[in-house]
Amino acid sequence: MAAEQMAAALNLKTASSNSAPATKFTVADLIAGQRGTVVGIAKGDNTLRRRLTALGIIRGTEITLDRTAPLGNPRAYSLLGYLLSLRNEDARNIQISIA
């Protein structure tokens, strides 16, 4: 009986840890040198979505904050072997997971 209770407790812990809400980050949340992996682009402006996709910002792309302008906007990101400068407003539309 104790083994069954322990197994049930382990299943509850596993289920509760899997169902915990994931924290969402955007490219604008990166700090200098930090790397993230693109998980999606926020719905909204289709023109921006097409432009970002054409620049290689697709699911699975690794992106790193390389430089920030003196006043904090725009910021330069390193991805796919090139530097991409984005306004913070646009960077907030790129959802990432931080490694």
Residue 15 belongs to a domain? no
Tell me, what CATH number does 84's domain have? 2.30.30.90
Alpha helices in 19-97 (DSSP H): 46-54, 88-91
pLDDT in tens, 54-81: 999 999 999 999 999 999 899 999 999 9
Beta-carbon contacts of residue 35 (< 8 Å; ≥ 6 apart) = 62, 63, 64, 98, 99
Predicted structure pTM score: 0.73
Range of the structural domain that residue 79 is part of: 22-98
Task: Count structural domains, the chain.
Answer: 1
Say if 11 falls within a structural domain. Answer: no
The pLDDT value given to residue 23: 61
Helix (H, G, I), strand (E, B) or coil at 60: coil
Query: Which stretch of 41-45, 60-64, 82-86 has the lowest confidence by average pLDDT?
Result: 41-45
- Residue 36 inside a domain? The answer is yes
In our burial notation (b when 16+ CB lie closer than 10 A, e otherwise), range 60-93 reads ebebbbbeeeeeeebbebbbeeeebebeeebbeb
Whether 17 is covered by a domain: the verdict is no
